[in-house]
Structure formats: structure tokens, C-alpha cells
Amino acid sequence: MFLLRLLYKPFAIVSGLIAARVGRSVFRGVWSKIDDQPPPLPGTGEGSVGKVAGAQALQAGVMAGVAAVVDRGFAVVFHHLIGIWPKPAPKPDDEEPGRRQAVAAGGSGHVGGKR
């Protein structure tokens, strides 16, 4: 199994490169709807603190979302071709500590409101 999962490394590298390129493109498209100027960089003194923070947060969110979609797509293709998922499923003991404590206290473990 380990050797088969090791075969995923080239997929992961290509996936990361594609995700970075697509993510930058998506962010530029989204930012162009917000402002006519390019996003301000933190160290240049351009733009307000709020605008810099907003641009960086938006870029991080877009990049993370695109990376997740591309990585999932490559994992599905790998699973289809090889027959196993590139990463093993998490064990029940590997859950987030906060969720385990919330469930033990009688909550649903969901943060941010009722479900």
C-alpha cells in the first residue's frame, strides 16, 4: 500500500502547480470585480490596513478553495486509475480535540450555531 501511495507524489506536485496557477487567475478575476487597481501589498504602504488585510484574506481563501478542489480532483483520478485513495481515511481517534470535547460535553461538536 505504501508504494502505491508513493505513486501519488507526482500527482500531488502537478496538482499543486496547477492549483497555484488557477488560484492566482481566479483571485485576479475576483479582485477585478472589487477594485480597478491591483491588490495592495502589505509592505508597500499602498492602501489602507483594511484593504490590505481584506485583499490578503480573500487571496488566501481563494487559493485554499482552489487547491482543495484541484487536489480532490487529482485524488479522484488517482483512485480511478490505481484503485486506492492517496491518503488513508482518518481514524476516529484522529478527530479534532475541540470537537471531541464538545461532543463529550453533550454538544454536537459543530462550532458556529445549531445544526
> Which has the minimum average pLDDT: 44-48, 83-87, 109-113?
109-113
Q: Look at residue 41 in the predicted model and tell me its pLDDT.
A: 86
Rounded CA separation 87/9 (Å)? 11
Whether 99 shows a pLDDT value over 60: the answer reads no
Rounded CA separation 72/69 (Å)? 5
Q: Look at residue 22 in the predicted model and tell me its pLDDT.
A: 95
